[in-house]
Structures are given as structure tokens and as C-alpha cells.
Amino acid sequence: MSPVPGPAKTMAFMVKTMVGGQLKNLTGSLGGGDDKGDGDKSAAETQGMSREEYEEYQKQLVEEKMERDAQFTQRKAERATLRSHFRDKYRLPK
């Protein structure tokens, strides 16, 4: 009997299934992108969602990204205003 072959095989299988599936998705998206509908379906299935749930999830992600971008733009404008104010106040060059 070899020392502990069962858990090692199980661990290798788990790592292979977890990482292998992600690698397949990555390499599949780099391929050519001919089957866009199938890619969405497989991504939804891998996350355990129906197609409608996956589409809703994607819309939610896009909306959240738009909100983050708007907040970033707002902060950027506020910083520019402060810089301008301090340049004027302390007569600093641009």
C-alpha cells in the first residue's frame, strides 16, 4: 500500500477542476469569440445561474461600474478645483 494516495488524488482532482475550468474559459475567450451565445450560457451554468439571472447580473455589474466611474469623475473634478484654489491662494505656478 502506498502512503495516502486517496487524499492526494482527491486534492489534485479538486485543483484540476477548479483551475482547469477557469483556464478553459480564459483560453476559450481568447480563441476567436465566434460562439458568443454559448460562452454566456456556459458562464451562467458555471456560476449556477439561469440565463436570465446571468444577464441581470451582468446588467447590475455594468450599472455598478458606471456609478463608480461617475464617482471617480466627481472626485477628480473636486481635486482639480482644490488644486486650482490653492494655486490661486498661494500664487503657485501650474
- Dihedral, 32, 37, 39, 40 alpha carbons, nearest 10: 140
Burial of 73 (0-12, 13-18, 19+ CB in 10 A): exposed
Biggest CA pair distance of the chain: 82
In a domain, 55, yes or no: yes
In a domain, 8, yes or no: no
In a domain, 71, yes or no: yes
In a domain, 34, yes or no: no
The dihedrals phi and psi of 40, each to the nearest 5 degrees, come to -65, -40
pTM above 0.85, yes or no: no
Mean pLDDT of the 61-89 span: 97
Please report the pLDDT score of residue 5 as a whole number. 55
Look at the chain and report how many structural domains it folds into: 1
Mean pLDDT of the 43-67 span: 91
Name the residue range of residue 71's domain: 50-93
